[in-house]
Amino acid sequence: AQTVTQSQPEMSVQEAETVTLSCTYDTSESDYYLFWYKQPPSRQMILVIRQEAYKQQNATENRFSVNFQKAAKSFSLKISDSQLGDAAMYFCAYRGSNYKLTFGKGTLLTVNP
Amino acid sequence: EAGVAQSPRYKIIEKRQSVAFWCNPISGHATLYWYQQILGQGPKLLIQFQNNGVVDDSQLPKDRFSAERLKGVDSTLKIQPAKLEDSAVYLCASSLGGLSVADTQYFGPGTRLTVL
């Protein structure tokens, strides 16, 4: 079974600085997708960014980018120019051949003004 | 485009009572998911529908939980009778296709259930 591990329960960053959230996963599959979701206090899970395993180029969405290391099974999220609105719980998720989304336990990000 | 709608947002019940949650997916989305998110954890899939058929309910506690998706659109999730350990946020999500690794899920705001 696939597992997703987020080793940082909490992280903090100063406004306008850069922060990186870590995620590792375990799988024997070659075709899969990886996702980062953001869950603010309102509880709604919002898709931040996604990465296809077959693509070598790292995905980027505005201030959000990933560092996808397939051999190392690592999928970190970098947030540049952090804003107060980025404060939330961030979940890394994996989707493989069984089509299920498997989530990590999350990283709580605090942004300090 | 309207997002996934859920109601109620909050529910408090006594143990052994029954409760039902409602979800309206994004228009045109064939696949609907119910997740349970216990405090401090990531969401766990309870059941997945493709149109009005069940694709996966392997983690649904069928002795007390039930779900249906009438006419392939709205869905209800019911707990009967509730236990203390059912206290959690129940998230509904929908996606366009479903049986594709690339299919992206979009989530509703969730229902926070407290069982006393």
pLDDT digits (tens, 9 = 90+) for B71-105: 889 999 999 999 999 999 999 999 987 566 667 88
Cα B93 to Cα A36, B69, B115: the distances in Å are 15, 13, 23
- Show the low-confidence residues of chain A (pLDDT under 50): none
* B104 contact A CB<8A: yes
Residue B102 vs residue B69, higher pLDDT: B69
Contacts of A98 in chain B (CB under 8 A): 56
pLDDT of residue B99: 62
pLDDT of residue A30: 87
Contacts of B55 in chain A (CB under 8 A): 99
Contact yes or no for A45 and B112 at CB 8 A:
no
pLDDT of residue B29: 92
pLDDT of residue A31: 87
pLDDT of residue A55: 86
pLDDT of residue B51: 87
Residue B58, Cα to own-chain centre: how many angstroms? 14
* B42 contact A CB<8A: yes
pLDDT of residue B98: 58
* A88 contact B CB<8A: no
pLDDT of residue B2: 78
Mean pLDDT of B41-68: 92
Mean pLDDT of B36-53: 91
Helix H, strand E, coil C: the string for chain A is: CCEEECCCCEEEEECCCCEEECCEEECCCCCCEEEEEEECCCCCCEEEEEEECCCCCCCEECCEEEEEECCCCEEEEEECCCCHHHCEEEEEEEECCCCCEEECCCEEEEEEC
pLDDT of residue A42: 78
Contacts of A101 in chain B (CB under 8 A): 33, 43, 45, 105
Best CA proximity match to A31, nearest among A99, A79, A107: A99
pLDDT of residue B101: 64
Mean pLDDT of B22-32: 93
